[in-house]
Amino acid sequence: MPLDKELDKTKVVFIDTCRRLMELGELSQDEYLGICDLLDRLDELDKETFDRELRRVSRGLSDLIS
């Protein structure tokens, strides 16, 4: 599978996981929307900035999946 399709598939799985966390009350709607926005800007960010922003919008829950 080409790398760009693999990345798109990974994004979909990640967003779906975050949606389920929101439904369980582990993420707020604002956090979920922040994560979705961050993924939309993925190509614009270096790894360190992405990691920092993800921790900020998800209250550190991203550490559980890193």
**How many domains is the chain partitioned into structurally?**
1
The owner of tokens 């967003």 is 15
The per-residue pLDDT for 42 is 86
Residue 61 CA: distances (Å) to CA of 5, 18, 32: 26, 10, 11
Task: Indicate the pLDDT class of residue 63, thresholds 50, 70 and 90.
Answer: low
The answer to the question of residue 66 being in a domain is no
Provide the domain limits for residue 26. Answer: 3-59
- Name the pLDDT band for 65 (thresholds 50, 70, 90): low
Q: Which range scores top for mean pLDDT: 4-8, 18-22, 54-58? A: 18-22
Asked if residue 12 has pLDDT above 70, the reply is: yes
For the chain, state the CA radius of gyration.
Answer: 12
Answer whether residue 29 is part of any domain: yes
- Where b means 16+ CB within 10 Å and e means fewer, 21-49 reads bbeeeebeeebbebbeebbeeeeeeeeee
